[in-house]
Structure 1
């Protein structure tokens, strides 16, 4: 059992610092949004029990996510149902815009430079800018390729455009993102999940529980790596940049897991109105370029 690729991935997840809240958001955004967006707390507890995450820890994380504006709660009798709040949906959509079906952008050789004042909630602004792909080379200054969507929480920032081809532009890029470290994260993802692809290919039939667990951990880990990536145009990246290889692997595994993992949701998922509705077309379009 210890040689099982999924066992090793789960063991690694358990050794890392607790990220229960982040994993819950991945579960909602990846699995529940395509099926109506709301799910019974018991469904979530059943999933996280596979990772041996205690129910009390889950309830505490849910309360914190609701207080932070990520989730809305609905009480029906003695059962609690949660869904991503409008702000949570917007933040998740922004964070994963490049996960499932990235849209190529036309590089014009310019960087977007935002100058942020010290007023307002700086932690909220920092989180939103980081999720959107902005780097932070110095206090109050944020940088991204021109055309990157600016989060609404910093709509009042001073905006400038600078060339990426001169000395200042190259210095901003070097100080905003640790590209070698990001490349190492992609390579670590490849090393971790490549054995899982081989295992899936050799399995006769994947149990729905294993498929659901593998799918969520796959997207959770890939999303974490992608959030650190500024998605710079190829002209600004090293020739051996591993992002495309990592995305291709993620897409192949995801599509191989999709059918069996949806069976788990069919068996265990419940909304306030009964069983979870069937997934919409958006789910079928994920990684459709693979």
Structure 2
């Protein structure tokens, strides 16, 4: 018997990612804990993790190695109840993941057209810690010493104390061809286009099935968010009026959001049936789960 369209789609995507070496056990585990388990109390049985990872082509030995590494590095906490083990993200990591949700599951990554913008010029190349701080603010590097910030100049300058920098608010800004190229690169145009091309057939496959197997749903959900979050956390948020004409991110986000909504209910049923905490069944989902991809 031929596998159903969803199983074929999952297998094809797994094969493509494995060939490009873009799957790792530890990253998939963190994705699963953040995306699916975070809204359900944060703790999950090791058995559920093993079952899902096996479906994703990760064997038990690789899972054990990844869990040991994550625990040693302070990413997850492990507990035991009798012969059963349970995992959860460590408090600091869980908070970071929760904050990242605002970017991963937002309705858009584009800022309002009236967002302030400023130009920051440094007297000398900035140290790595300083450029990291500007990255945190969402600045676009136009050179070693010149940065376009989508925030008032005083806020950007406040993030660089003790540095020889100047800044000015710019009320109107027409990007030069060079800046347009930098904006397009910062918006990950090629990566989002490739992601959309990979997931359009999956959406078509979903449209062909009347009911979705819960295991297929949780597998595809984990795999898709594993890919999506890497891009969603790297794409530069810019005012909508500066978005390149061929900006590929909005289409990709809309596609991922549509698939996610199709997967949500059946994947939650899989969690209800296969995942547990040390106290029993997973608690009900936090209300924020239903709002993913719905709000800007």
TM-score by length of 2: 0.78
1:64 to 52, 66, 69: 69
Q: Which residue of 1 aligns with 2:85?
A: 80
1:126-275 correspondence to structure 2 within 5 Å: 145-146=150-151, 157-158=160-161, 162-163=168-169, 178-179=185-186, 182-275=188-281
Structure 2 CA distance for partners of 1:185 and 1:80, relative to 1, 3 Å: same
Distance 1:139 1:59, change over 3 A: farther
More deviation in 241-250 or 73-82? 73-82
- Partner of 1:178: helix, strand, or coil? helix
Going from structure 1 to structure 2, the CA distance change for 1:118 and 1:79 (only over 3 Å counts) comes to same
Structure 1 pair 174/204, CA: closer, same or farther in 2 (3 Å)?
Answer: closer
Distance 2:90 2:146 in 1: 30
How many Å separate the matches in 2 of 1:33 and 1:114? 41
Match of 2:115 in 1: 108
Judged with a 3 Å threshold, the aligned counterparts in structure 2 of structure 1 residues 245 and 156 are, in CA distance, closer, same or farther, namely closer
How far 1:92 sits from its partner (Å)?
1.5
User: Rg bigger for which structure?
Assistant: 2
- In the aligned structure 1, how far is the partner of 2:78 from the partner of 2:117? 43
The aligned length equals 278
Contact preservation (8 Å) 1:143, 1:172: no
TM value normalised by structure 1? 0.79
SS in 2 for 1:80: strand
- In structure 1, the partner of 2:17 is 13
CA spacing shift, 1:16–1:74, aligned 2, 3 Å: same
Pair 102,205 (structure 1): closer, same or farther in 2 beyond 3 Å:
closer
Greater Cα shift, 246-255 or 60-69: 60-69
Query: Which structure 1 residue ranges, 5 or more long, are not aligned?
Result: none
Matches of 1:60 and 1:173, distance apart in 2: 44
Report SS of the residue matched to 1:230.
coil
Question: Which structure is higher in RCO with an 8 Å CA cutoff and minimum separation 6?
Answer: 2
Cα deviations across residues 134-186 of structure 1 (Å, max 9, x unaligned)? 66667799875328xx9xxxx97539755466799997886687247x11111
RMSD: 3.6
Asked whether the equivalents of residues 143 and 176 of structure 1 are also in contact (C-alpha less than 8 Å), the reply is no
Shift of 1:253: 0.7
The question of 1:283 aligning with 2:266 is answered no
Q: Which runs of 5+ in 2 are unaligned?
A: none
The alpha carbon displacement at 1:238 in A equals 0.9
1:37 equivalenced with 2:42 (yes/no):
yes
